[in-house]
């Protein structure tokens, strides 16, 4: 790097001193040295050559990396973080090399003047060996006018002894995340200390003292961030961080919330509570999975060399994934195929190429490209997208291991029958671990709908997720009792408890065998009421297992699998082949095909859905179908061409009112007429919004059946995002408010003589079954593995007693009280069937 560089004006406007900015953080120099420009134009340009560092979460700010640790941050406006993203239009991508004068960002000056505190734009310089020069101020400037020269002086940056290695994790409570003001305050808090402090977030890291680098991480409100500290005064620096994150800021600033350090502490009772992702019981020694990945060098050995190295690593990783396809169940195959698609993604490869072409190593380019995509996925706040970010991290690590000269698979020596503890488990981890060496798994983070959770359930491995960082306080080899049915991990079990827990495991194994033997028998309650138990299916290959488990048909065929993880929409004939094959395999049993439930938390790359502030409240279900009527009618024709109309049922997702039903029926009728069909299959709707639940009396008269989607219904009733890690334990479909709505829906269906089923996750929860029967549910659609136990449970209960239980439950205070009452009921009346 040269000893000096000319900095030119990035904006047209009025140049002034930084002290004129109407914000104490910028004006007081907490954010660093620099100047300010009051813009009169609408475009931000590069003040010099550099590498772009930006984040989709902070479109109002762009920084340029100049080398040698120096960066220039241009922050459009004051308090502009709250403006709609449409006020800013980035013209460059993160990691892109740009030339001096190149356009970086278009902005709506009128919107900024109207909506922000000020349009004045700080231009800040950061760098440890930097000498900030004098600059002629108080004058008009045009884009490209010389401002000043940056000079570097020889010397070494402050160092610290590598002692006192500490780690702490916090949740950010700032209203707009770690934007300029809180990032600058963070840097000021750490300034007195010599310790090295690194901020880590979703696989990326930054010097916590660099406001520019911290902002570039795109950290938002409620995100969990980790600080790594080393040096002689690391303890003191950590205490300062704890004060910073624990003390409410001054009036007019945002609030921050302190959470437990990353090392975690165990609850006083020794019971860690999480979220069940795969039910079951397990007993075994604790084994913590730790990262084994080698550090990544930033600079490469030449453009041609690095391009060749990346291509070779991708080819080897793809071959490895393809070899793993053999012998896997359908869901595991789909996950592996999705990973192959990611490796071939043209956008990902293009991003890598840009970095390699400016001198970066293949490993660095691949890591940056993967993590940028993962960060964008997680930033959406959607459950499905956030869980797909884990797939990006998985692919990233596999390729990096190959580039480092190893195998795509991570290798751990696990003790037999252990309980695995991890921050989050990736699909490749589970596929590479021998099932007989893992009794159960508990993760600090993760989600119940992740690909890893799907694989664990398919392999019968009990899995608890979102259990928090307290699990890392558990010493290796500690005997743990994992009760994934009750969502608990017991860490201080005494010998009596262990003996009783072992007896529960053996009894559970015997019951499962007995339930499977009787799976084909019908499900009658003790007083003779018939309960139909259907299967939720996502693939044709699951039909045989569902029938073997005693399923009386398919209560929900999720057709999203036909649309996801591919580059084009499935054709009519392709869909017909799948639907007809499933119908034939069911051999006359009911087949309920849900039309494409895509959008929201199930995005489709080739549909180019519009950006939404809250996708859960946007284009979802039939709303997406009405938006893309061509895809909707293609699917309807494929369903209707199956024939077997007495066996088929069409299920419409995310219906809100009569108008939705009327519009959908018009499409169905038009397709049937075009095919020359005089008869239609049964038509039903998902009841999964409060509006549909409250309008159920009208809706039930307009369709042939209702099917309650308890997952979404609970999310909307309780106002808790299904993908929110901090609130996951608050989202429980057994909350009395949800149960009251289910009762209201059931009463409406009964009066209209309309069939009613429940196909959400609640139907697969054994503890909920007596309550659901008591509320009026007569059809359950569950995951196939649960069906034998559910049918056995139905045979053990009396409907009248279930109704009494339901009457009492809806008057309780919260979901925990309901679960306690339901568990007590099962212990008294159906203990032999409880898993």
Residue 202: what pLDDT?
A: 63
Query: Which is higher by pLDDT, 56 or 738?
Result: 738
Q: Are residues 616 and 714 in the same domain?
A: yes
Residue 63 lies in a domain: yes
* Domain end among 91, 126, 152: 152
Q: What are phi and psi of 834, to 5 degrees?
A: -75, 135
CATH number for the domain that contains residue 395: 1.10.274.10
- Pair type for strands 281-288 and 479-483: antiparallel
Distance, CA of 593 to CA of 556 (rounded, Å): 6
Residue where a domain terminates, one of 511, 541, 572: 511
Task: State whether 505 and 541 are in the same domain.
Answer: no
Residue ranges making up the domain that contains 554: 518-833
Q: Please give the radius of gyration of the chain, using alpha carbons only, rounded to the nearest integer.
A: 29
Asked which of 210-224, 269-283, 493-507, 666-680 is least confident by mean pLDDT, the reply is: 210-224
| Residues 571 and 665 both lie in one domain | yes
Catalytic residue IDs: 451, 759
Q: Are residues 423 and 360 in the same domain?
A: no
* Alpha helices per DSSP H over 628-718: 629-640, 658-674, 690-694, 696-699, 710-718
Q: Looking up tokens 């569902």, which residue turns up?
A: 546
Assess contact for 625 and 596: CB atoms under 8 A: yes
CB hemisphere CA count around 85 (13 angstroms): 10
Q: Residue 473: which CATH number?
A: 3.50.30.10
> β-strand 532-537 against 779-782: which pairing, if any?
parallel
Residues facing residue 88 across a β-bridge: 107
Same domain membership, residue 503 and residue 522: no
CA 23 to mean position of chain CA atoms = 35
**Residues contacting 246, CB < 8 A, separation 6+:** 256, 258
Instruction: Give the pLDDT confidence of 514-563 residue by residue, as tens digits.
Output: 888 888 999 999 999 999 999 998 888 889 989 999 999 999 998 877 87
Among 395-409, 413-427, 442-456, 550-564, top mean pLDDT goes to: 550-564
Position 159 in a domain = no
Q: Which residue has the tokens 């140049």?
A: 15
Give the chain's domain count. 5
Kindly indicate the confidence band of residue 816, based on its pLDDT and cuts at 50, 70 and 90.
confident
Q: What is the pLDDT of residue 248?
A: 35
Burial tier of 619 (Cβ tally within 10 Å: 0-12, 13-18, 19+): buried
Confirm whether 703 is domain-assigned: yes
- The whole-number pLDDT of residue 572 equals 93
Phi-psi sector, 812: left (phi>0), alpha (psi -120 to 50), beta = beta
Which of residues 371, 403, 435 is at a domain's end? Answer: 403
Domain-located, residue 465: yes
Using a pLDDT cut of 90, give the percent of the chain over it: 31
Residue 255, in any domain of the structure: no
What is the CATH classification number for the domain harbouring 17? 2.70.70.10
pLDDT in tens, 239-261: 788 777 753 333 333 333 323 33
pLDDT at 683: 96
Q: Which residues pair with 189 in a beta bridge?
A: none
d(CA 540, CA 586): 10
- Asked if 432 and 315 sit in the same domain, the reply is no
Instruction: Say yes or no to pLDDT of 571 above 80.
Output: yes
* 262-276, 344-358, 521-535, 605-619 — most confident range: 521-535
- For residue 472, give the DSSP letter: G
Q: What is the pTM of this model?
A: 0.55
Q: Which residue has the higher pLDDT, 294 or 432?
A: 432
Average pLDDT over all residues of the chain? 80
Pair 339, 453 in one domain: no
At residue 8 the predicted structure's pLDDT band, cuts being 50, 70 and 90, is very high
Q: Choose the weakest-confidence range: 181-190, 245-254, 302-311, 425-434.
A: 245-254
User: Is residue 333 included in any domain, yes or no?
Assistant: yes
Residue 259 belongs to some domain of the structure: no
Tell me, yes or no, whether 283 and 316 share the same domain: no
Q: Find the distance separating the first CA and the last CA of the chain, reported in whole Å.
A: 67
Q: Determine, yes or no, domain membership for 786.
A: yes
- Give CA separation, 526 vs 115, 754, 802, 803, in Å: 66, 24, 11, 13
Question: 763 and 645, same structural domain?
Answer: yes
Q: Per-residue pLDDT tens for 143-166? A: 999 988 877 654 433 333 333 456
Residues 535 and 627 both lie in one domain: yes
* Domain shared by 607 and 705, yes or no: yes
Residue 118, number of CB atoms within 10 A of its CB: 17
Using CB atoms within 10 Å of the CB of residue 666, give its burial: 0 to 12 exposed, 13 to 18 middle, 19+ buried. Answer: exposed
Same domain, 681 and 568: yes
Who has greater pLDDT, 293 or 338? 338
Query: 45-93: per-residue pLDDT in tens?
Result: 999 988 887 766 678 888 888 766 678 888 898 877 767 667 888 898 8
Give the C-alpha separation, 830 to 759, whole Å: 23
- CATH number for the domain spanning 236: value is 3.30.1340.10
Q: What value does the mean pLDDT take over residues 761-784?
A: 91
The larger pLDDT score, comparing residue 474 to residue 390, is at: 474
């Amino acid at each position: 790097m040269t000893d000096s560089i000319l900095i030119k004006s990035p904006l047209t406007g009025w140049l002034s001193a930084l002290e004129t900015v109407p914000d104490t953080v910028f004006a007081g120099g907490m954010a660093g040295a620099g100047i300010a420009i009051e813009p009169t134009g609408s475009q931000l340009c590069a003040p010099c050559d550099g590498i772009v560092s930006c984040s989709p979460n902070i479109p109002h700010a762009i920084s340029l990396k100049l080398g040698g640790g120096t960066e220039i941050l241009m922050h459009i406006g004051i308090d502009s973080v709250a403006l709609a993203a449409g006020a800013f239009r980035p013209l460059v991508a993160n990691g892109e090399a740009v030339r001096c004068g190149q356009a970086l960002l278009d902005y709506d000056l009128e919107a900024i003047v109207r909506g922000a505190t000020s349009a004045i734009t700080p231009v800040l310089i950061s760098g440890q060996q930097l000498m900030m020069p004098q600059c002629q101020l108080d004058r008009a400037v045009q884009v490209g006018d010389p401002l000043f020269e940056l000079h570097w002086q020889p010397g070494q940056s402050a160092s610290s002894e590598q002692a006192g290695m500490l780690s702490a994790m916090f949740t950010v409570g700032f209203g707009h995340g770690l934007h300029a003001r809180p990032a600058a305050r963070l840097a000021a808090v750490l300034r007195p200390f010599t310790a090295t402090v690194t901020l880590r977030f979703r696989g990326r890291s930054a010097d916590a003292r660099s406001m520019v680098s911290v902002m570039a991480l795109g950290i938002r409100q409620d995100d969990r961030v980790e600080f790594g500290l080393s040096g002689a005064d690391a303890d003191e620096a950590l205490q300062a961080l704890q004060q910073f994150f624990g003390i409410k800021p001054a009036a007019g600033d945002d609030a921050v919330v302190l959470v437990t350090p990353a090392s975690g502490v165990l609850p006083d009772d020794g019971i860690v509570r999480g979220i069940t992702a795969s039910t079951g019981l397990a007993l075994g020694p604790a084994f913590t999975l730790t990262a084994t990945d080698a550090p990544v060098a930033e600079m490469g050995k030449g453009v041609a060399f690095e391009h060749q190295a990346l291509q070779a690593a991708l080819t080897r990783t793809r071959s490895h994934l393809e070899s793993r396809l053999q012998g896997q169940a359908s869901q595991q195959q789909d996950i592996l195929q999705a990973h192959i698609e990611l490796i071939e993604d043209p956008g990902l490869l293009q991003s890598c190429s840009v970095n390699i072409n400016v001198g970066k190593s293949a490993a660095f380019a691949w890591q940056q490209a993967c993590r940028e995509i993962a960060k964008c996925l997680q930033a959406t706040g959607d459950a499905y997208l956030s869980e797909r970010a884990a797939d990006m991290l998985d692919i990233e690590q596999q390729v990096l291991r190959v580039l480092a000269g190893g195998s795509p698979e991570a290798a751990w020596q696990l003790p037999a029958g252990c309980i695995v503890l991890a921050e989050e488990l990736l699909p490749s981890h589970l596929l590479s671990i021998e099932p007989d060496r893992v009794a159960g798994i508990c993760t600090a983070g993760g989600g119940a709908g992740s690909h890893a959770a799907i694989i664990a359930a398919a392999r019968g491995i009990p899995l608890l997720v979102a259990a928090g960082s307290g699990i890392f306080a558990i010493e290796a080899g500690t005997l743990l009792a994992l009760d994934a049915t009750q969502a608990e991990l017991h860490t201080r079990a005494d010998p009596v408890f262990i003996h009783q827990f072992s007896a529960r495991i053996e009894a559970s194994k015997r019951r499962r065998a007995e339930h499977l033997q009787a799976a084909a028998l019908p499900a009658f309650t003790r007083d003779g009421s018939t309960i139909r138990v259907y299967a939720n299916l996502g693939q044709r290959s699951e039909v045989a297992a569902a029938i073997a488990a005693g399923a009386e048909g398919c209560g929900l065929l999720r057709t999203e699998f036909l649309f996801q993880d591919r580059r084009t929409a499935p054709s009519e004939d392709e869909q017909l082949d799948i639907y007809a094959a499933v119908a034939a395999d069911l051999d006359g049993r009911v087949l309920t095909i849900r039309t494409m439930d895509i959008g929201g938390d199930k995005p489709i790359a080739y549909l180019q859905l519009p950006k939404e502030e809250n996708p859960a409240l946007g284009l979802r279900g039939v709303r997406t179908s009405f938006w893309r009527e061509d895809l909707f009618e293609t699917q309807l024709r494929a369903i209707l061409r199956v024939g077997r109309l007495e066996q088929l049922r069409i299920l419409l997702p995310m219906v809100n009112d009569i108008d939705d039903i009327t519009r959908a029926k018009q499409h169905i009728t038009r397709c049937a007429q075009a095919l020359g069909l005089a008869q239609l299959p049964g038509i039903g709707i998902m009841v999964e919004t409060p509006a549909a639940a409250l309008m159920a009396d009208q809706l039930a008269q307009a369709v042939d059946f209702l099917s309650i989607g308890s997952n979404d219904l609970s999310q909307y009733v309780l106002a808790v995002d299904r993908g929110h890690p901090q609130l996951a334990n608050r989202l429980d479909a057994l909350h009395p408010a949800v149960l009251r709505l289910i009762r209201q829906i059931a009463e409406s269906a009964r009066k209209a003589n309309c069939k009613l089923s429940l196909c959400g996750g609640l139907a697969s929860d054994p503890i909920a079954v007596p309550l659901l029967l008591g509320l009026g549910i007569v059809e359950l659609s569950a995951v196939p593995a649960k069906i034998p136990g559910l049918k056995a449970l139905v045979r053990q209960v009396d409907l009248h007693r279930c109704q009494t239980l339901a009457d009492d439950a809806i008057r309780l205070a919260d979901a925990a009280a309901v679960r306690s009452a339901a568990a007590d009921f099962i212990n008294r009346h159906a203990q032999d069937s409880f898993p």
